[in-house]
Every structure is written in C-alpha cells, then in structure tokens.
C-alpha cells in the first residue's frame, strides 16, 4: 500500500512539474524577439511587440543581448530619447539562455546614457524606429 501511495505521489509531483514548466515556457516564449545584429558571438534582438511610442522623441522597448559563449541572455526594458541620442535602462534581467531561467532581476531605473552613432545600441534603435530598415536614415 505504501509503495502504491509513493508511486502516485511521484506521478503527481511529475505532472505538476511538467505543467509548471510548460506554463513557464509559454510565458518566456510569448516574446517576439527579432534579430537585429551580431558582433562575434553576441547577438542583439528587439521584442517588437513591446515597442511603444511615448512621445515624438521617446520610445520604449525590450531589447536582449545574447552572449552565446556564456549561455546568458541580458534583457533590458529601455526608454530611448533618439533626438538626444540617449537611452535609459528601466529594468533588466539576466537569464540562462537555453532554459530561460531568471538568474538576476533589477527593477531600478538607471540614468540616461548617450550612445554613439555607430554603436550596437544605435543599430537597435534604428531597428525600433524604422521597422528593421538599418540603412542610414
């Protein structure tokens, strides 16, 4: 009897674990990251479903930087002032790339920082503003 109960408990725990992981995966993969650029083994992405025009000069979006050699994905919610060529990280997460396990979260806004015209951030912002047309606009 105890052996049967133990087996039923194992099945229940396994079922709950599968349901939980499926639910977690569906949340992680609900994002719509589009590839923008790469430099060596680092990829740069924009979640196009999060792009929000806040004002004529301000745009908000979620971007991701994937470092393949570290199995890490750095996800940033950013606010961009493209007229002043500045961006602000509003919140961030570090995830294990292959499992999407969140390793670290930070919900503190940082100050605005400038970005260079020929930087990866500039390429991400061009993608956000011009819908993927990365030619000089």
Collapse the DSSP code of 115 into the 3-class scheme (helix H, G, I; strand E, B; otherwise coil) and give the result. Answer: coil
Per-domain residue ranges of the chain: 1-30, 32-130
- Give the per-residue pLDDT at 62: 97
Of the listed ranges 20-34, 69-83, 93-107, the one predicted with least confidence = 20-34
Q: For 112-121, write each residue's pLDDT tens digit.
A: 999 998 899 9
Region for residue 129 given its phi and psi (left: phi exceeds 0; alpha: psi -120 to 50; beta: otherwise): alpha
Mean pLDDT of 79-100: 96
Q: What is the pTM of this model?
A: 0.73
Decide if 83 contacts 57 (C-beta within 8 A): yes
Instruction: Give residue 14's pLDDT band: very low, low, confident or very high (50, 70, 90).
Output: very low
Rounded Cα–Cα distance for residues 99 and 123 (Å): 27
């Amino acid at each position: 009897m105890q052996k049967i109960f133990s087996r039923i408990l194992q099945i229940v725990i396994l079922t709950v674990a599968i349901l939980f992981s499926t639910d977690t995966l569906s949340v992680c993969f609900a994002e719509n990251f589009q590839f923008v650029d790469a430099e060596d083994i680092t990829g740069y992405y924009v979640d196009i479903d999060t792009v929000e025009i806040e004002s004529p000069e301000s745009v908000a979006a979620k971007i991701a930087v994937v470092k393949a050699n570290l199995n890490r994905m750095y996800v940033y919610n950013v606010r961009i002032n493209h007229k002043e060529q500045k961006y602000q990280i509003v919140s961030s997460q570090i995830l294990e790339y292959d499992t999407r396990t969140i390793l670290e979260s930070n919900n503190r806004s940082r100050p605005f920082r400038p970005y260079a015209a020929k930087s990866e951030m500039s390429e991400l912002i061009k993608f956000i503003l011009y819908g993927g047309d990365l030619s000089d606009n």
